[in-house]
A and B are shown apart, each in its own frame.
Chain A
Amino acid sequence: MNWIALSVFAALFLLVTVLGFVAARWRAGDLNHINEWGLGGRRFGTIVTWFLLGGDLYTAYTFVAVPALVFGAGAIGFFAVPYTLMLYPFVYVVYPRLWSVAHKHGYVTASDFVRGRYGSHVLALLVAITGILATMPYIALQLVGIQVVIAGMGFTGTGLMGDLPLIVAFAVLAAYTYSSGLRAPALISVVKDLLIYITVIAAITVIPAQLGGYGHIFAGIEPGKLLLPPPTADNTGAYGAYATLALGSVLALFLYPHCVTALLSSSSRGVIKRNMALLPAYSLALALLAFLGYVAVVAHVHDDPAYTDYFRQYGNNFAVPALMLKYFPSWFVGVMFAAIAIGALVPAAIMSIAAANLYTRNVYKEYLRPDASPKDEAQMAKLVSLIVKLGALAFILFTKPQYAINLQLLGGAWIIQTFPTVVVGLYTRWLHRWALAAGWAAGMLVSSWMVISQQFKPTYPLHLGGLTVPGYAAFYSLILNFAIAITLTLVLRALKVKEGVDTTAPEDYEHDPA
């Protein structure tokens, strides 16, 4: 047991726990209203939104998994870099429209918007279910991040003793999310980012210096991994995979409920736009972290007998923790591991709130208790946020971490199927609601089949004549989704099938009260 690391870790954990409960009084509002509990009263300015979105997008798992992928697979793992840089112009142009229409009509979730836009509670339900399904494994994945660092500090016991730290961490998280709502992760994300930046800067300066500098590290990587394999006569190689992984991830990300929640909690369109210029600070940190994957290769952490057991249990996800253990004093390992663990708590909190908002607004109020007051809604959302976290915890305790990773991959391929409904819907209502539902269904089935048929690899080798074109399964299935939605829209239009009533007006999408 690494007692020094553990003490520092525990102290920092205690600090954020206190913050989590204090958050309830921060910019006090009536937490018995879903708008206050679930969206922080829509009052977060540029800085808080920056931290909140940063906490949302760059999770602990990102910081562990991206270098792990580079560590194992090389250049393809860097797709996270074009992904994050493509994200900002896209969100800048598209998503202020969602903020405006949601602000105007009091929408709390993307499904609320779908209901108002298409006059279809069924389509709204489909979007809500997709969001909840995609979010659940994502929460479980955050737990994997915590598990890895707890084990790294020497908690390797089996049975209840081994799981106890994780259970305690999650119980604490559940308690302050319940009482403070979105304010808790918003406040904690400030500490989280501070720790993450300290960790990243220390890691990318101290370790490469000891290994002879950046040039030396790149020279130590086998040439085949340093670049993407170029196309051959009958295969487009990794080019298409790299580009579609990045593009598909861009199109999918802000459809995730936790991203919508963070966007809608901001106080104006301007806050979102300003953030799109400020968030690349995280992209730089992520690019540097990805590079740590190569550092881990050159540092030979994999061959170090001290870490053999960990690599056996956690695979390449142990590459970054191993680097930290190898190159830093115990007390600083405590800081770094706390950064990863707290970096898991923030998104886990936002995700559970987002899933709770969806269930409450688009299932409970829609189907079970249409007369629910805002107070009932807040009560239900709090309860559901607990259930969601309990489910994720049980999943991690009773199954293998690999299942969470696989399901999260499926989640990405699922959530992108709401793109035609939500994002296209922000611009035009041309697509018919039933055509959108059919496209969604086809996309869900085909994307699941593609991912499963490849033993849970994100890329699918599409065969076009004699040419093989590997690409992101989510992206391919989205094209099919669009094709079906467009074709059926033409058919349903010709048959004059009823379209729902649109309760939004064109100017609502530019609505800017600031």
Chain B
Amino acid sequence: MAAAKISRTKRVVWYVILFIPFFVAIAVPLYNRIEPSVFGIPFFYWFQFVLIIVAAVVTALAYRAKV
């Protein structure tokens, strides 16, 4: 019935990886700054934009790893 199960340890490791962008996003003081800015775009803005892409890639990798 269920798809080939991955080991419990592997699943826990993946959960931790999945939630890294999550906890970075909560750590607001980490990115509430202007510099380093890129093309005049403050860090606060481009960092969160990049974080969306990181979160998407991590989720896709988790899916491929059958987590």
Picked from A89, A239, A277, A291, the residue with its CB within 8 Å of the CB of B32 is A239
Given A85-B25, A510-B2, is A214 in contact with B41 using a C-beta cutoff of 8 Å? Answer: yes
Q: What residues on B are CB-neighbors of A227 within 8 Å?
A: 32-34, 42, 44
Does residue A218 face the partner (Cβ distance < 8 Å to B)?
A: yes
Picked from A230, A242, A287, A511, the residue with its CB within 8 Å of the CB of B52 is A287
Asked if residues A78 and B59 are in contact (CB atoms below 8 Å), the reply is no
- Whole-angstrom distance from the CB of A215 to the nearest CB of chain B? 2
Which A residues from 41 to 92 make CB contacts under 8 A with B? 75, 78, 81-82, 84-86, 88-90, 92
Asked if residues A90 and B22 are in contact (CB atoms below 8 Å), the reply is yes
Instruction: Give CA–CA (A283, B55) in the complex, Å.
Output: 11
Asked if residues A230 and B25 are in contact (CB atoms below 8 Å), the reply is no
Q: What residues on A are CB-neighbors of B44 within 8 Å?
A: 75, 78, 226-228
Given A85-B21, A214-B39, is A230 in contact with B32 using a C-beta cutoff of 8 Å? Answer: yes
Does residue A512 face the partner (Cβ distance < 8 Å to B)?
A: yes
Asked if residues A88 and B32 are in contact (CB atoms below 8 Å), the reply is no
- Whole-angstrom distance from the CB of B6 to the nearest CB of chain A? 13
Asked if residues A93 and B15 are in contact (CB atoms below 8 Å), the reply is yes
Instruction: Give CA–CA (A283, B34) in the complex, Å.
Output: 22
Q: What residues on A are CB-neighbors of B41 within 8 Å?
A: 214-215, 218
Picked from A216, A218, A228, the residue with its CB within 8 Å of the CB of B28 is A228
Asked if residues A89 and B25 are in contact (CB atoms below 8 Å), the reply is no
Asked if residues B40 and A216 are in contact (CB atoms below 8 Å), the reply is yes
Q: What residues on A are CB-neighbors of B21 within 8 Å?
A: 85-86, 89
Asked if residues A277 and B56 are in contact (CB atoms below 8 Å), the reply is yes
Instruction: Give CA–CA (A96, B63) in the complex, Å.
Output: 12
Instruction: Give CA–CA (A88, B3) in the complex, Å.
Output: 22
- Whole-angstrom distance from the CB of B3 to the nearest CB of chain A? 6
Q: What residues on B are CB-neighbors of A89 within 8 Å?
A: 18-19, 21-22, 55, 58-59, 62
Secondary structure call for the B interface: helix
Asked if residues A280 and B28 are in contact (CB atoms below 8 Å), the reply is no
Asked if residues A81 and B56 are in contact (CB atoms below 8 Å), the reply is no
Asked if residues A78 and B32 are in contact (CB atoms below 8 Å), the reply is no
Does residue B13 face the partner (Cβ distance < 8 Å to A)?
A: no
Q: What residues on B are CB-neighbors of A84 within 8 Å?
A: 52
Asked if residues A274 and B42 are in contact (CB atoms below 8 Å), the reply is no
Which A residues from 229 to 250 make CB contacts under 8 A with B? 230, 239, 242-243, 246-247
Which B residues from 2 to 60 make CB contacts under 8 A with A? 2-3, 15, 18-19, 21-22, 25-29, 32-34, 37, 39-42, 44-45, 48-49, 51-53, 55-56, 58-60
Q: What residues on A are CB-neighbors of B55 within 8 Å?
A: 85-86, 88-89, 280
Instruction: Give CA–CA (A243, B48) in the complex, Å.
Output: 13
Picked from B1, B15, B33, B59, the residue with its CB within 8 Å of the CB of A276 is B59
Instruction: Give CA–CA (A323, B21) in the complex, Å.
Output: 33
Does residue A273 face the partner (Cβ distance < 8 Å to B)?
A: yes
Chain A residue at minimal CB-CB distance from B19: A89
Chain A residue at minimal CB-CB distance from B3: A512
Chain A residue at minimal CB-CB distance from B5: A510
Asked if residues A85 and B52 are in contact (CB atoms below 8 Å), the reply is yes
Which residue, of B25, B51, B58, B63, has the highest number of chain A Cβ atoms within 10 A?
Answer: B25
Instruction: Give CA–CA (A246, B48) in the complex, Å.
Output: 13
Instruction: Give CA–CA (A88, B62) in the complex, Å.
Output: 12
Does residue A513 face the partner (Cβ distance < 8 Å to B)?
A: yes
Chain A residue at minimal CB-CB distance from B17: A89
Asked if residues B34 and A226 are in contact (CB atoms below 8 Å), the reply is yes
Asked if residues B59 and A277 are in contact (CB atoms below 8 Å), the reply is yes
Q: What residues on A are CB-neighbors of B2 within 8 Å?
A: 510-512
Does residue A219 face the partner (Cβ distance < 8 Å to B)?
A: yes
Q: What residues on B are CB-neighbors of A242 within 8 Å?
A: 28
Q: What residues on A are CB-neighbors of B3 within 8 Å?
A: 512, 514
Q: Would you give the 0/1 interface string for A298-314, flagging 1 where the beta carbon is closer than 8 Å to chain B?
A: 00000000000000000
Instruction: Give CA–CA (A213, B25) in the complex, Å.
Output: 27
- Whole-angstrom distance from the CB of A359 to the nearest CB of chain B? 34
Does residue A194 face the partner (Cβ distance < 8 Å to B)?
A: no
Asked if residues A214 and B32 are in contact (CB atoms below 8 Å), the reply is no
Instruction: Give CA–CA (A78, B48) in the complex, Å.
Output: 9
Does residue A383 face the partner (Cβ distance < 8 Å to B)?
A: no
- Whole-angstrom distance from the CB of A469 to the nearest CB of chain B? 13
- Whole-angstrom distance from the CB of B2 to the nearest CB of chain A? 5
Question: A-contacting residues of B (Cβ < 8 Å)?
Answer: 1-3, 15, 18-19, 21-22, 25-29, 32-34, 37, 39-42, 44-45, 48-49, 51-53, 55-56, 58-60, 62-63
Q: Report 14 cross-chain contacts, Cβ distance below 8 Å, ordered by A residue.
A: A85-B25, A85-B52, A92-B63, A226-B34, A243-B27, A246-B25, A276-B59, A277-B62, A280-B59, A284-B53, A287-B48, A287-B49, A511-B1, A512-B1
Known interface pairs A218-B37, A287-B49; 9 further A-B residue pairs with C-beta atoms within 8 A, sorted by A's residue number: A85-B21, A85-B51, A88-B55, A219-B40, A239-B29, A273-B63, A277-B62, A283-B52, A511-B2
Sorted from nearest, which 9 A-B pairs have the closest CB atoms?
A215-B40, A280-B56, A82-B25, A277-B60, A89-B18, A277-B59, A85-B55, A239-B28, A81-B48
